[in-house]
Amino acid sequence: MKIRLNQRNIPILATFGVFLLIYLIGSVLYQNFFSIRVFSNLFYDNAFVGVIAVGMTFVIISGGIDLSVGSVIAFTGVLTAKLVMGYQVHPLFAILLALMIGAILGFTMGCLIHYFNLPAFLVTLVGMFLMRGLAFQVTLDSIPIRHGFLDKIVYFGIPLGKRVSFSGLAVVFLLIVVGGIYLSHFTKFGRNVYAIGGSEQSAILMGLPVGKTKILIYTMNSTLCALAGVVYTLYTLSGYPLACVGLELDVIAAVVIGGTLLTGGAGYVEGTLVGILILGLIQTFITFQGTLSSWWTKIVVGILLFVFILLQTYLSKTGALKKA
């Protein structure tokens, strides 16, 4: 019996292949590279990037882009730290306020993009400068943050073995991924996102709620960015207005390497998860090597991104990634 490969699945299969190849090479070259500790740390160290990447996957599948994500993280971090340490506000209230601000930002950008037919690139670029400027209005310095409630979250972990645990931040990351997979594959919202990315005009003619869906996409994405800001703050135990400068490019790279078509209409949240883990593996590989500059991470990611864009272009021309 012949097994036929669906060409639409080639990008995500290539993503899994790259992940396994890097993991295999690292395991052969370095002792302890193939270990539970290293694998769990991939989720912990990249949790905040992964949370953003899930939202960005929906944005890119819909044919949009969001450049404000790094600035939202910075603003969320300094706001949370300032409220908790400067005004003695309970962290839970500060987190809820940060999420609310993120949702309002995303809702506003979504409305501007839809109702005024403005390019997502320009609207989110404005959002990037706005949130970064607001972060500097809160403080110019780094603010350390400590609180008993936050310590419980930071030091929570699911035991995996001797002195190894799966951290609470990693659990948050995985829960967001599971939620993203469910939304994309098993809900009308997910189907609408793919339809809009495939052809917005066709989606309108089919009577789909294009405007509502686009606004929800950007609202969800900015809310997840605010949540990622909280995760980042817990990861670093500080808020800093210059945090995550240029992070949006890393997130976009992870999403594309994860098999999402940059022009929209095709992609998988589960592929984005593997794309994030690939970025983490490259950083881990360089750390184990010990003599290479951390800038090699950017070089390798750039090469991978170029290869995946070429693959997407080829498959699009052959009709394998024909949009909905």
pLDDT at res. 297: 82
By three-state DSSP, how is residue 164 classified? strand
Dist CA 130 CA 322 (whole Å): 37
pLDDT at res. 7: 67
The model's pTM is 0.93
Which residues lie below 8 Å from residue 286, measured CB to CB, with a gap of 6+?
A: 292, 294, 296, 297
Here the tokens at position 235 are 């990861």
pLDDT at res. 108: 97
Q: Range with the lowest mean pLDDT among 235-239, 252-256, 297-301?
A: 297-301
Dist CA 85 CA 106 (whole Å): 27
CA-atom Rg of the chain in angstroms = 20
Q: Is the pLDDT of residue 321 over 70?
A: no
Name which of 195, 203, 219 is nearest 110 in CA terms: 219
pLDDT confidence bin for 265, thresholds 50/70/90: confident
Q: What is the DSSP string of 101-163?
A: HHHHHHHHHHHHHHHS---HHHHHHHHHHHHHHHHHHH-SS-EE---HHHHHHHT-EEEEETT
Q: Is the pLDDT of residue 2 over 50?
A: no
Q: Is the pLDDT of residue 254 over 90?
A: yes
N residues, the chain:
324
Mean pLDDT throughout 158-173? 88
pLDDT confidence bin for 24, thresholds 50/70/90: very high
Does an H or E element contain 314, and which? helix 296-318
Percent share of the chain, pLDDT over 90: 68
Average pLDDT across the chain, whole number: 90
Dist CA 113 CA 249 (whole Å): 21
Q: Range with the lowest mean pLDDT among 6-10, 76-80, 87-91, 222-226?
A: 6-10
Termini Cα distance of the chain: 30
Mean pLDDT throughout 275-289? 91
Q: Is the pLDDT of residue 199 over 70?
A: yes
pLDDT at res. 262: 87
Degrees to nearest 5, angle at CA 95 with 94 and 97: 65
pLDDT confidence bin for 90, thresholds 50/70/90: very high
Of residues 265 and 191, more confidence is placed in: 191
Domains and CATH numbers, the chain: 7-22+31-318 (1.10.3470)
Q: What is the DSSP string of 25-67?
A: HHHHHSTTSSSHHHHHHHHHHTHHHHHHHHHHHHHHHTT----
Mean pLDDT throughout 99-111? 97
pLDDT confidence bin for 132, thresholds 50/70/90: very high
Dist CA 167 CA 43 (whole Å): 8
Mean pLDDT throughout 65-93? 94
Dist CA 148 CA 79 (whole Å): 18
Mean pLDDT throughout 18-24? 92
